[in-house]
Amino acid sequence: MASLTGNKVTPYDVAQWSVANGGLCEGSGSYHSLIPNGGRHYGLTVTSIGRDGKKLVEALQEGKLVIAIMSKGHFTNSGHFIVLRGVTEDGKLLVADPASVKRSNKEWDLRIVTGEASRKVGSAGGPFWVLSP
CB atoms within 10 A of CB 131: 23
d(CA 122, CA 133): 25
pLDDT in tens, 55-94: 999 999 999 999 999 999 999 999 999 999 999 999 999 9
Q: CATH assignment of 2-132, given 3.40.50.620, 3.90.70.10, 1.20.1730.10, 1.10.10.10?
A: 3.90.70.10
Query: Is 1's pLDDT higher than 90?
Result: no
The pLDDT of residue 70: 97
In total, the chain counts a number of residues equal to: 133
Report whether pLDDT(122) > 90: no
Domain ranges of the chain: 2-132
Verdict on whether the full-model pTM lies above 0.85: yes
Going from the C-alpha of 5 to that of each of 45, 76, 131, 132, the distances in angstroms are: 11, 28, 11, 9
